[in-house]
Amino acid sequence: MTVVGEQLQPTLFERSRPGRGGDKIPHPPKDALDRIPAAARRVTPPALPELNEPEVVRHYTNLSQLNYAIDTGFYPLGSCTMKFNPKLNEWAARLPGFASLHPLAPDSVAQGTLQLLWELEGILAEVSGMKAVSLQPAAGAQGELCGILMIRAYHRSRGDTERDEVLVPDSSHGTNPATASMAGFKTITIPSAADGGVDVEAFEAALGPRTAAVMITNPSTLGLFEQRIGHLLEHVHAAGALAYMDGANLNAILGRFKPGEAGFDVMHFNVHKTFSTPHGGGGPGAGPVGVGETLLPFLPSPRVLRADDGTFRLEVVGERPTSIGRLRSFVGNTGVLVRAYAYLRAHGGTGLKQVSDDAVLAANYLRKRVGEAYDIPFDRACKHEFVASAAGIKKRTGVRTLDIAKRLIDHGYHPPTIYFPLTVEEGMLIEPTETESVETLDAFADALIAIAAECESDPELVKSAPHDAPVGRLDEATAARQPNLRWRPMAGAEMPCPD
């Protein structure tokens, strides 16, 4: 048996004692299940844990305290936009009128939510310069799938069935190529140029009659604005292909750049990044998709429609035959969208522009400060995030970026995104967001600089970090080789043992 460390908690199953808990629900009549045929009934009851409410509350409260979170400290996880999650939004999503509304409730009883969704579509269309928005996709990656399926439907509607390739820059999020594969396309990877942008020559060489779409993240995952974007988009369209924009980095360009105006045909929004909806320990998100004129007919169904009399309704089954259909049940992650709506309304047009101005200012200030001790591979004005590299430190001291990230934990910070994008050696993608004070930015920079000094003076200290976390570095190899993916109530002895 492995030892349960002082700060860790026994599992729910270890806490269980037969006979504990209960009395939440009135007991049903004895004959309640008599009409269920024996063949359909469960024979062995599920071995779920038996606990009383105080134990459950303590278990989850104690577990929560093992987490690092935005509410506990600075979380500069690049490409994830870990900004403050406003508490008003949590309150709003829990208003009974929103929270208890059934998704198949008739339009006449859902007018408040339908109006909110309709207004939100309009706000997102204005922010992105797109013609229309669908709120259906459940997350950014599903928004990508939605966009690529629409592009596929567009080409097919023109009888153009030869296009089976999607071009993706090598610095893109992994979701881009994975999405292309899911939609039945072959991914063609385009290398980056020396300045961090897309290599135009390679790009133009790859474009052709087989290109269905190009997926571009702008600003890129290096935090750089794609300055040749106008030129690239012209070539995409001249080749008969369509342009998809990954909106993961929208927090940099609110009020400064509208993808629809620039010529992108479709984009997704990550509302849990740009519009502050909680990341939830891994989700939920919501990934609305905006489209230009070309893809309008193919938007997923149902759309929210407004009638001349000011009432709102959902499209009915089969109302728009050109639609790609649906990518999930019901209308979308409405509870998440309520929070995004509140955020957008709280800021208004001027506030949103200020969000990006402050996010970009903070990132550049931090870039300058971190540059005192680290390599900055693209040392020019960045957008909302920047890449630092520990390649020089590694060469001198043998300490890797992973070690520096772990040492940051001891200094009280969540590490940045590391080894992404894959194109930068020993890279750290740092995104401060607009909700962190200049004092926090300075303290974080001081910590990174101090660690750089530790790398020289006491490299072992850094290599063996973290020292002050609830657990030390993990045995990930055993976890993958002999996966233990569930508690086995009758086989506790099978728990992995340390060597």
Q: If binding is defined by CB under 8 A, does position 498 make contact with other proteins?
A: yes
Stretch that binds other proteins, among 205-213, 290-298, 337-345, 370-378 (CB under 8 A): 337-345
57-76: which residues touch other proteins (CB under 8 A)?
Answer: 57, 59-61, 63-72, 75
* Alpha carbon distance 211, 122 (integer Å): 31
Letters for 282-301 (x = contact with other proteins by CB under 8 A, - = none) are xxxxx-------------x-
Sole binder of other proteins in the list 256, 296, 450, 458 (CB under 8 A): 256
Q: If binding is defined by CB under 8 A, does position 264 make contact with other proteins?
A: no
* Alpha carbon distance 272, 284 (integer Å): 8
Q: Supply the minimum distance, in Å, between the C-beta of residue 277 and other proteins.
A: 10
C-beta separation of 273 from 295 below 8 A? no
Sole binder of other proteins in the list 182, 200, 305, 449 (CB under 8 A): 182
Q: If binding is defined by CB under 8 A, does position 493 make contact with other proteins?
A: no
* Burial class for 246, CB neighbours closer than 10 Å (0-12, 13-18, 19+): buried
93-112: which residues touch other proteins (CB under 8 A)?
Answer: 93-106, 108-112
If phi > 0 it is left, if psi is from -120 to 50 it is alpha, else beta; for residue 325 that is left
Q: If binding is defined by CB under 8 A, does position 487 make contact with other proteins?
A: yes
Stretch that binds other proteins, among 205-213, 235-243, 429-437, 449-457 (CB under 8 A): 429-437
C-alpha closest to that of 200 among 177, 167, 223: 167
Query: CB count, 10 Å around CB of 254?
Result: 23
Q: Which two tokens stand for residue 324?
A: 């790609």
Residue 258 is inside which H or E element, if any? none
Sole binder of other proteins in the list 169, 278, 288, 290 (CB under 8 A): 278
Sole binder of other proteins in the list 12, 391, 443, 461 (CB under 8 A): 12
Q: Which is nearer to other proteins, 93 or 399 (CB)?
A: 93
Q: If binding is defined by CB under 8 A, does position 13 make contact with other proteins?
A: yes
C-alpha closest to that of 365 among 441, 467, 285, 431: 441
114-173: which residues touch other proteins (CB under 8 A)?
Answer: 115-116, 123, 126-127, 129, 138-142, 144-145, 149, 152, 173
18-47: which residues touch other proteins (CB under 8 A)?
Answer: 20-22, 24-29, 32-33, 35-37, 39-47
DSSP per residue over 367-404, as a string? Answer: HHHHTTTSB-SS-S--SS-EEEE-HHHHHHH---HHHH
Sole binder of other proteins in the list 165, 426, 434, 454 (CB under 8 A): 434
Q: If binding is defined by CB under 8 A, does position 398 make contact with other proteins?
A: no
Q: If binding is defined by CB under 8 A, does position 329 make contact with other proteins?
A: yes
Q: Supply the minimum distance, in Å, between the C-beta of residue 355 and other proteins.
A: 7
Q: Supply the minimum distance, in Å, between the C-beta of residue 396 and other proteins.
A: 25
Q: Which is nearer to other proteins, 32 or 194 (CB)?
A: 32
C-beta separation of 78 from 420 below 8 A? yes
User: How many Cα neighbours within 13 Å face the side chain of 203?
Assistant: 23
189-218: which residues touch other proteins (CB under 8 A)?
Answer: none
Sole binder of other proteins in the list 405, 424, 429, 452 (CB under 8 A): 405
Sole binder of other proteins in the list 331, 388, 404, 448 (CB under 8 A): 331
Sole binder of other proteins in the list 160, 162, 201, 261 (CB under 8 A): 261
C-alpha distance from residue 489 to each of 12, 46, 63, 108, 363 (Å): 11, 11, 20, 49, 49
Query: CB count, 10 Å around CB of 60?
Result: 12
340-379: which residues touch other proteins (CB under 8 A)?
Answer: 342, 344-355, 357-358, 360-362, 364-365, 368-369
* Alpha carbon distance 161, 342 (integer Å): 43
Q: If binding is defined by CB under 8 A, does position 224 make contact with other proteins?
A: yes
Q: Which is nearer to other proteins, 380 or 396 (CB)?
A: 380
The one-letter amino acid code at 33 reads L
Q: Which two tokens stand for residue 62?
A: 């104690």
Helix, coil or strand: residue 198: strand
* Alpha carbon distance 274, 254 (integer Å): 9
Quick one: CA dihedral 258, 260, 264, 269, positive or negative? positive
Q: Supply the minimum distance, in Å, between the C-beta of residue 328 and other proteins.
A: 5
For residue 56, report the phi and psi dihedrals to the nearest 5 degrees: -65, -45
